[in-house]
Amino acid sequence: MYVPKFYQTDEIWAKELIRRYPLAVLLTNGPRAPFATHLPTIVPPEDRARLDAGKPLVGLTMFGHLNRNNPHWAALQSVGPSVLVFQGPNSYVSPTIYETTPAAPTWNFTSVHLHGTLRAIDDRETTLQIIRWTVEGFEAEFGANWDMRPSLGYFDRIVHDVGAFAFEIEAVDAMFKLSQEQPAEVQERVVRSFATRESCSHHHELAKLMSRVNPAGNGS
């Protein structure tokens, strides 16, 4: 991913995006065109605290899973270099917000690309462990602390349809395109406009993120 200097950011923001938007697109080479599958990704419990404590993403192993009936799963048996793409909040930016002429419309967005080596996991117990990690992590972050224990027998019955994998991170590209190329007063107008929109939650998320990533542009 090409990331102009304006839109480069500290890795702390990349980690937060991955944690808040863990549904990734897995990209690998295919026989005629690349495979692309949307799937959840998870960091093992022992590594979550280490990430929060400042451990870099490079060298970390993430885990994910997809349906074994997906043709992508068969291709993973021999795949190596791969990419996980994470997409955060994004929105169109109308030139009317800038209150200047000339101007041009644009699109603000946040994205993280993880480059690494993928290894398919065929072991049943390891696959079940990855499912448990996924449930524990997502219930704590996004759910209602659902107790999975009564359903572990069900997990055991359906695990044969789950294709798990490990992904070792070797490089990170993060692009946070949040109007940094604009003067501080224009950035502030974008934040105010997005913060007052009622039609799309992405506007509110972008406004909050711009205020945190670009503090010079929000009057602070």
User: What CATH number corresponds to the domain at position 122?
Assistant: 2.30.110.10
Residue pLDDT, tens place only, 158-186: 999 999 999 999 999 999 999 999 999 99
**Residue 37 sits in the same domain as residue 136:** yes
**Cβ-proximal residues to 210 (8 Å cutoff; 6+ apart), any chain:** 108, 178, 179, 187, 190, 191, 194, 217, 218
User: pTM for the full model?
Assistant: 0.92
Residue 81: per-residue pLDDT: 86
128 and 77 within one domain: yes
Q: Sorting pLDDT into bands at 50, 70 and 90, what band is 80?
A: confident
The share of the chain scoring above pLDDT 70, in percent, equals 96
Residues 193 and 149 in one domain: no
CB atoms within 10 A of CB 1: 11
pLDDT at 15: 94
Q: Which domain holds residue 136?
A: 5-177
Residues 165 and 204 in one domain: no
Task: Specify whether 202 is located in the same domain as 169.
Answer: no
* 164 and 207 in a common domain: no
Question: Looking at this protein, which amino acid is placed at residue 149?
Answer: R
Kindly state whether residues 142 and 219 are assigned to the same domain.
no
Average pLDDT over residues 110-123: 96
Q: What is the pLDDT of residue 165?
A: 96
State how far the alpha carbon of 191 is from the alpha carbons of 50, 76, 184, in Å. 32, 42, 11
Give the Cα separation of 159 and 217 in Å (integer): 49
pLDDT computed for residue 48 by the predictor: 82
Q: Is there a single domain that holds both residue 167 and residue 213?
A: no
* Statement to judge: residues 104 and 192 lie in one domain: no
Total domains in the chain come to: 2
197 plus 168 within the same structural domain: no
Q: What is the pLDDT of residue 30?
A: 87
Residue range 51-57: mean pLDDT, rounded: 83
pLDDT for the residue numbered 216: 58
The percentage of the chain sitting over the pLDDT mark of 90, rounded to a whole number, equals 81
**Who wins on pLDDT, 51 or 16?**
16
Q: 220 pLDDT exceeds 50? A: no
Q: Are residues 135 and 43 in the same domain?
A: yes
The three-state secondary structure class of 101 is coil
- Interatomic CA distance for residues 183 and 201, integer angstroms: 25
User: What is the reported pLDDT for 219?
Assistant: 45
* 217 pLDDT higher than 80: no
Q: Are 117 and 219 within one domain? A: no
